[in-house]
Amino acid sequence: QVQLVESGGGLVQAGGSLRLSCAASGLIFSIATMGWYRQAPGKERALVATITSVGSTNYADSVKGRFTISRDNAKRAVFLQMNSLKAEDTAVYYCYAGYLRGDYWGQGTQVTVSS
């Protein structure tokens, strides 16, 4: 059973930084596409960033230059470094795994940016 557990969310002032982590189990991590999505109140869940098994990355335009996604296959973990945070980054952030034609999600971690 694939399990994804996020950590690292919290409250931060605008302009600050946070680093999210996601620990994965129940899958061959090295071949999974991993990513982060977010859902703000009243909005649909949206892509933040993804990273493939070979390290290719993709970012939403709104976070390019501020957020960095990375992975550590040995630790079976994916990370999201978020810098220069803005109030509009406030959302629940979900870890995502694309694995063997299935989509898997974590429970989410709240990120709140105060202006």
Helix (H, G, I), strand (E, B) or coil at 107: coil
Return phi, psi of residue 75, to 5°. Answer: -95, -5
* pLDDT tens profile 7-52: 999 999 999 999 999 999 999 999 999 999 999 999 999 999 999 9
What's the rounded Cα separation, in Å, for the pair 25 and 40?
Answer: 27
Mean pLDDT for 104-109 is 98
What does pLDDT average to over the chain? 97
CA dihedral 7, 70, 24, 39 (to 10 degrees): 50
**What percentage of the chain has pLDDT greater than the value 70?**
100
- Contact indicator for 5, 23 with CB cutoff of 8 Å: yes
* pLDDT tens profile 61-76: 999 999 999 999 999 9
Q: What is the pLDDT of residue 103?
A: 97
Q: What is the pLDDT of residue 11?
A: 98
